[in-house]
Chains A and B, each alone.
Chain A
Amino acid sequence: MKLSFTASQETFRTEISEWLETRLTGAFSDIRGVTSQTAAAQRRILWEQELGRARWSAIGWPEEYGGRAADLAEQVIFAEEYARARAPGRLGHMGVELAGPTILAFGSNDQKQRFLPSISAGQEMWCQGYSEPNAGSDLANVNTKARLQEGPSGKQWVIEGQKIWTSLAQFADWCFVICRTEPASQGRHGLSYLLVPMHQPGIDIRPIRQMTGESDFNEVFFDKAVTAEENIVGEPGKGWQVAMGTLSFERGVSTLAQQMHFRNELSEIIALANANGKSSEPLIRQRIAKAWRGLQSMRASALRMLSHTDAGTLTGPQFTYKIFWASWHQQLGELAMDVMGKDGEMTGSDYQLSDLTRLFLFSRADTIYAGTNQIQRNLIAERALGLPKEPRG
């Protein structure tokens, strides 16, 4: 077990941090520190392209697809430096973290050639079409349907249905969609994983206004939307396995970037407590210490997880990580409000939120999306602890 990095890894760290610093004090200084999902979207798409040109966008990918074939330690360093520099949240992450790795793992050669370079170059943005009004925690209950029909230029999939909670759909060029391609099939069987272009008449995007007053998520309606026959990843009817593959990619290096972001939030709370005198209250001091402990534990858990990525089996922290960070982050939001006092409850005249107030509200979603806390507890109990399965109707 070793926590430190080698000299060449530290050189790599210097290279990335200098590159980021130059860009973020220069051409992209206006979007430094932007954390909300949707703010300054057009500028952030240009930022994605800037990253892509310098091959910093998808460093873990093979070089032929625009990556650097970076090893795990380098990916960790990149994630840390990216967040340390307060570089903007990645608008391209659905492509880089989810669609891309799925295509790399399950896609055909043609699909890799077609899609991967444009993802790593920041030329095409992606969104995820998984959840539906009746397929939330019970994701296998997907009801969006696709059937293969003759189109103007060969066979194409024709898609009907509705997706919901689709982040960044309004900026996306493509969506990866799980839908039912075998009529009358049920549950995990008969689903397929389709890649669907977003710019077409059959797709209607409606933003959802959240409790924050902002709209990070959308409903996406498919009304005879189409995609070419070859835009299917894996075999028809075997989409569930591909989709689960995508979910497992979510537990990778990005957790470390997320933690650096959390660290920035905690630092802001500490600075605020020192500034307004709350830092002298024993209860606040204790809660800040506890938050720091949680953050350190997360970092250590991420390092444990990353050390086991090739082992094939899931280890303890892989089961417990999601519920831990989500619950921790929610408590951080509550702590932020207690440190801010009444000031934290004040909004801008158009209900604009400060970063910490947004954290307080938005973190209610953390324990819901990507597997609710209840679902996480079921997974831990049944898969990690081997307890009997809940009888299912």
Chain B
Amino acid sequence: MQFEFTQEQTMIREMVLDFSRDHASSQQIRQAMATEQGYDQKSWHAMSVDLGLAGLLVPVEFGGQGLELIDTVLVFEQLGGRLLPSPLLETAVMAVTLMTSLADEALQRKWLPRIAAGDCAVAFARLDNGVAEYVIGAQGADVLILCEDDNNHQLTILDGGPGHHHGAIKVSRLTMLDQTRSMSRVEMLPAQKLNGYQAGKGSLAAAAANRAHQFSHIALAAEAVGAAQSCLDMTVDYVKERHQFGRAIGSFQAVKHQLADMMVDIEAARSAVYFSACSVSENPAQLPEMASLARVQASEALTHCAAEMIQLHGGIGFTWEHDAHLYFKRARSTATLLQTNSELDEIIAEQLGLNSQVAS
């Protein structure tokens, strides 16, 4: 048993921190939010090609870094500190996990090296009755993976992104509260045949799709921990500077105690995220509840911290100009992405063996 980070992991963390300093200023984030594809091409290039972050989980034989989820989690935690929009989650975690979970070497040989090289952004849509609501990253994707859950979980990979499949699918970008995540509605047009790679179906496809979502929950959780930590750091800086009644407001216990409670939630969530990321490789059977643990714990911490950040900044925290609202909105979109927190808690309740039938 060993629960501390290696030197290599510390280096990954610092590398990402440097990246954020160069690419994720408030201005750069706001510019990226306003792009049509939902992210800034240059920063995505730096992230995926220069740093190789898209290939974190891609096995070495396919040109990736062959790292574990725990390493990936460190990257997401650091990136989460700033809210730079990028297709990293859906590409490096969701799509890669899906592909590595399928026993299809041809598929892996075709796409994984491209992803690892930073050559494509990938999105993954799970459709019911031909429609997938709230698909992350579909608009700007170079490759789109569809899973028809109502059609025996048929998996199809569409190369070239939505633009190349006009006749068969329709992708509509949605305007959402959280502008740092690009969300779209994906629709299969009736009576049109999909011209893509058939990547399997049935229970294997469903298991791979679920696993892709569960890994994403953990990465998302790491991102939320990083974001919550930023809320705390920025607020601590502010209350040391801001003076009222002749003293820094951070010297008042009413303020201190709110900040202390933020740290309590953050540390618990961070522990939960590291723990669940480690357990994925050591106890794969526990993945469903571990994903729920990390996601809900971190999502609640971020929700709490972002709200307190606004409160403790006073009026300035309520403005469009200050970044506080970006964190507050990110908190909201985290609490509902892929599944809601209460749905995830229900997964835990089931795993704990709580009978849902009313006793007769």
A residues near B, CB below 8 A? Answer: 1-5, 9, 73, 76, 270, 273-277, 279-280, 285-286, 288-290, 292-294, 296-301, 303-304, 306-308, 316-317, 319-320, 323-324, 374, 376-378, 380-382, 384-391
Contact at B267–A317, with CB atoms within 8 Å?
yes
Contact at A376–B247, with CB atoms within 8 Å?
no
Contact at A316–B267, with CB atoms within 8 Å?
yes
B270 partner residues in chain A, CB cutoff 8 A: 316
Contact at A380–B260, with CB atoms within 8 Å?
yes
Contact at B348–A386, with CB atoms within 8 Å?
no
Contact at A378–B1, with CB atoms within 8 Å?
no
Q: Quick one: which of B238-263 are within 8 Å of A by CB? A: 239-240, 247-248, 250-251, 253, 255-257, 259-261, 263
For the complex, give the distance between the alpha carbons of A297 and B250 in Å: 28
For the complex, give the distance between the alpha carbons of A65 and B1 in Å: 27
Interface of chain A: mostly helix, strand, loop or mixed: helix
Contact at B260–A280, with CB atoms within 8 Å?
no
For the complex, give the distance between the alpha carbons of A388 and B260 in Å: 13
For the complex, give the distance between the alpha carbons of A323 and B292 in Å: 24
Contact at A304–B274, with CB atoms within 8 Å?
yes
Chain A: CB-nearest residue to B297 = A293
Contact at A1–B272, with CB atoms within 8 Å?
no
Contact at A389–B251, with CB atoms within 8 Å?
yes
A2 partner residues in chain B, CB cutoff 8 A: 1-3, 278, 282
A384 partner residues in chain B, CB cutoff 8 A: 263
Contact at A377–B356, with CB atoms within 8 Å?
no
Contact at B260–A289, with CB atoms within 8 Å?
no
Q: Quick one: which of B194-249 are within 8 Å of A by CB? A: 232, 236, 239-240, 247-248
Tell yes or no: B355 within 8 A of A by CB: yes
A388 partner residues in chain B, CB cutoff 8 A: 240, 247-248, 250-251
Contact at A387–B293, with CB atoms within 8 Å?
no
For the complex, give the distance between the alpha carbons of A289 and B349 in Å: 5
For the complex, give the distance between the alpha carbons of A307 and B5 in Å: 10
Chain B: CB-nearest residue to A380 = B260
A288 partner residues in chain B, CB cutoff 8 A: 349, 352, 354
Contact at A294–B356, with CB atoms within 8 Å?
no
Chain A: CB-nearest residue to B73 = A1
Would A289 and B3 be within 8 Å (CB), given that A280-B359, A323-B264, A388-B240 are in contact? Answer: no
Contact at A306–B260, with CB atoms within 8 Å?
no
Sample of 19 A–B contacts (CB below 8 Å): A2-B3, A2-B282, A4-B1, A4-B282, A290-B345, A292-B293, A292-B348, A296-B275, A297-B269, A300-B272, A304-B3, A316-B266, A320-B268, A323-B260, A323-B264, A374-B257, A385-B260, A387-B236, A389-B251
B2 partner residues in chain A, CB cutoff 8 A: 1-2, 307
For the complex, give the distance between the alpha carbons of A360 and B336 in Å: 33
Contact at B355–A274, with CB atoms within 8 Å?
yes
For the complex, give the distance between the alpha carbons of A4 and B267 in Å: 22
Contact at A304–B271, with CB atoms within 8 Å?
yes
Min Cβ gap B217→A in Å is 13
Contact at A294–B3, with CB atoms within 8 Å?
no
Interface of chain B: mostly helix, strand, loop or mixed: helix
Q: Which of A1, A289, A308 contacts B348 (CB 8 A)?
A: A289
Would A73 and B275 be within 8 Å (CB), given that A382-B256, A385-B263 are in contact? Answer: no
Chain A: CB-nearest residue to B248 = A388
Would A1 and B240 be within 8 Å (CB), given that A293-B293, A387-B259 are in contact? Answer: no
Chain B interface residue count: which class? Answer: 35 or more
For the complex, give the distance between the alpha carbons of A317 and B255 in Å: 21
Chain A: CB-nearest residue to B5 = A1
Contacts A3-B283, A376-B260 supplied; 8 other A-B pairs, CB < 8 Å: A279-B355, A286-B346, A293-B296, A293-B348, A296-B272, A374-B257, A381-B253, A387-B255
Would A307 and B236 be within 8 Å (CB), given that A320-B267, A377-B261, A385-B259 are in contact? Answer: no
Chain B: CB-nearest residue to A308 = B4
For the complex, give the distance between the alpha carbons of A275 and B251 in Å: 50
Min Cβ gap A40→B in Å is 31
Contact at B271–A276, with CB atoms within 8 Å?
no
Min Cβ gap B201→A in Å is 32
Tell yes or no: B342 within 8 A of A by CB: yes
Tell yes or no: B279 within 8 A of A by CB: yes
B297 partner residues in chain A, CB cutoff 8 A: 293, 297
B5 partner residues in chain A, CB cutoff 8 A: 1
Q: Which of B266, B268, B279, B354 contacts A285 (CB 8 A)?
A: B354
Min Cβ gap A327→B in Å is 8
Chain A: CB-nearest residue to B348 = A289
Across chains A and B, which 4 residue pairs bring their CB atoms closest together, nearest first?
A300-B275, A381-B256, A300-B271, A277-B359
Tell yes or no: B70 within 8 A of A by CB: yes
Min Cβ gap B24→A in Å is 23
Contact at A9–B1, with CB atoms within 8 Å?
yes
For the complex, give the distance between the alpha carbons of A217 and B193 in Å: 76
Contact at A301–B3, with CB atoms within 8 Å?
no
Chain B: CB-nearest residue to A9 = B1
For the complex, give the distance between the alpha carbons of A291 and B272 in Å: 13
Tell yes or no: B353 within 8 A of A by CB: yes
Chain B: CB-nearest residue to A77 = B1
Contact at B357–A280, with CB atoms within 8 Å?
yes
B349 partner residues in chain A, CB cutoff 8 A: 285-286, 288-289
Contact at B256–A377, with CB atoms within 8 Å?
yes
Q: Which of A3, A280, A389, A390 contacts B3 (CB 8 A)?
A: A3
For the complex, give the distance between the alpha carbons of A196 and B2 in Å: 40
Tell yes or no: B285 within 8 A of A by CB: no
